[in-house]
Structure 1
Amino acid sequence: MNKRIHLTACLLSGAFFAGLSSSAWAEPDFTFQSPPAVVVWSQTDTYRDVEAVDEVQSRFEQRVFKQISAFFGEAAKSKLTGEETLYIEVTNLDLAGDVRFRPGVTRELRILDDLTPPRITFSYKMMKGEQVLKQGDEKLSDINYLNSVIGPARDRPFAYENQLIKNWVKKTL
């Protein structure tokens, strides 16, 4: 992302999210524009589970945040007009499954089970120009996530987090 766009997105995000969440505004760690969504990832070092398995941790985090930002943009396209923008500030993420060491395996694996559903916590504003159309704070989770994605979609990266976002957009926006 070029520096001017990144700086503009950070400044806009700061202006739009000031006072939105209960915690004081913090400098975003990452900002991704995925029209019609702008997604800010704040205080990522406190997130519950964004643990890499067989990848450099910093690259994995960047890939996760970029992909999930794209999910917000893709899902919002079906609900927002060309003049509307969805601003998201993610404050916590817990990917589906849990990273564990398995005996007989030379590396850790992400194991999916009923006890480790995906979770994402964020604040949002849906805006049309300067007008706030809708806003709120969300804590998404799906304890039945293993049955929510079927077929080949299960093999896509972050399929369960994507389904959480699709369901939220369908229900809320």
Structure 2
Amino acid sequence: MPAAIIAVSLAAGSLARADVRVVFENPRGYTDASSFRRGGVEPGAGVLRELERYLQRLGERNLGPTQRLDIRISDVDLAGGFRPSAGALDQVRIVDGLEPPRITLSYELHERGRRVASGRERLADINFQWRSHASGRLGYEKALLRDWFEDRIVKRRPARRPG
């Protein structure tokens, strides 16, 4: 009998996944994520899919089963910039410290069907290269999203207003 209870609990736990819905509005018009081309797929598709999966993983780790987060991303500007490379078909992204990552988004956090938090923000981190915890592919952009998620969604801190 205890084994059956554990099996039911595990099955119920896997069904109660966090619900994070990400919509990319007009991705062809994004500052430079749309110019990131690999393998002939939709411009920026790999970058955007990776950012979407990252946001969903943040939700799985931090949201409860009665919460839903809707995110609409209207621009992605990756850290650095693309430069033509000599003799290569793909462009080379150069991160020189002058062009920080920027992501423009709006969001709504729902709990038990009621909106409990919402906003529209332009995320940017001018100190992005000083981060020791930003590594790997899209590390600066993921660090930007992780910090935003922690502040707005987990801790529900309001956005700072420019002074």
TM-score normalised over the length of structure 1: 0.70
1:114 aligns with 2:97: yes
Which residue matches 2:70?
A: 87
The verdict on how the C-alpha distance between 1:74 and 1:121 changes in structure 2, with shifts beyond 3 A counting, is: same
User: Bigger CA drift: 73-82 or 112-121?
Assistant: 73-82
Give the secondary-structure state (helix, strand or coil) at the position aligned to 2:69: strand
Tell me the TM-score normalized by structure 2.
0.74
Alignment map for 1:19-38 (pairs within 5 Å): 35-38=18-21
Shift of 1:157: 1.6
Q: Which AA in structure 2 matches 1:115?
A: L
Residues 31-50 of structure 1: pairs in structure 2 closer than 5 A: 35-50=18-33
Go from structure 1 to structure 2 and tell me whether the alpha carbon gap of 1:67 and 1:35 turns closer, same or farther (over 3 Å shift): farther
User: Residue 40 of structure 2 aligns with which residue?
Assistant: 56
1:31 match: none
Question: Which whole-Å CA distance do the structure 2 matches of 1:52 and 1:95 have between them?
Answer: 10
Distance 2:27 2:108 in 1: 20
Please report how far the alpha carbon of residue 53 of structure 1 lies from its aligned counterpart in structure 2 after TM superposition: 5.3
Measured in 2, the distance between the counterparts of 1:144 and 1:138 equals: 18
Please name the residue that 2:107 is paired with.
Answer: 124
Q: What is the CA–CA distance in structure 1 between the aligned matches of 2:150 and 2:97, rounded to whole Å?
A: 24
Cα distance in structure 1, aligned partners of 2:96 and 2:37? 17
1:65 corresponds to 2:48: yes
Equivalent AA in structure 2 for residue 169 of structure 1: F
Structure 1 residue 74 and structure 2 residue 54: aligned?
Answer: no
Runs of 4+ displaced beyond 3 Å: none
Partner secondary structure for residue 62 of structure 2: coil
- Per the TM alignment, residue 80 of structure 1 is displaced from its structure 2 partner at its CA by 1.7
Match of 1:158 in 2: 138
**RMSD of Structure 2 on Structure 1 (CA):** 2.0
CA distance in structure 1 between the partners assigned to 2:74 and 2:119 by the alignment: 13
Partner of 2:10: none
Which structure 1 segments of 5+ residues have no match?
1-33
Identity %: 26
Deviations, residues 44-94 of structure 1 (Å, cap 9, x unaligned) = 121111122554351x52211111011112223343211101100001111
Structure 2 unaligned spans of 5+: 1-16, 154-163
Pick the structure with greater CA Rg.
Answer: 2
What's the secondary structure of 1:116's corresponding residue?
coil
Return 47-56 or 138-147, whichever deviates more.
47-56
Letter in structure 1 aligned against 2:47: V
Higher mean C-alpha displacement, 163-172 vs 70-79: 70-79
Contact 1:37 1:72 survives alignment (8 Å): yes
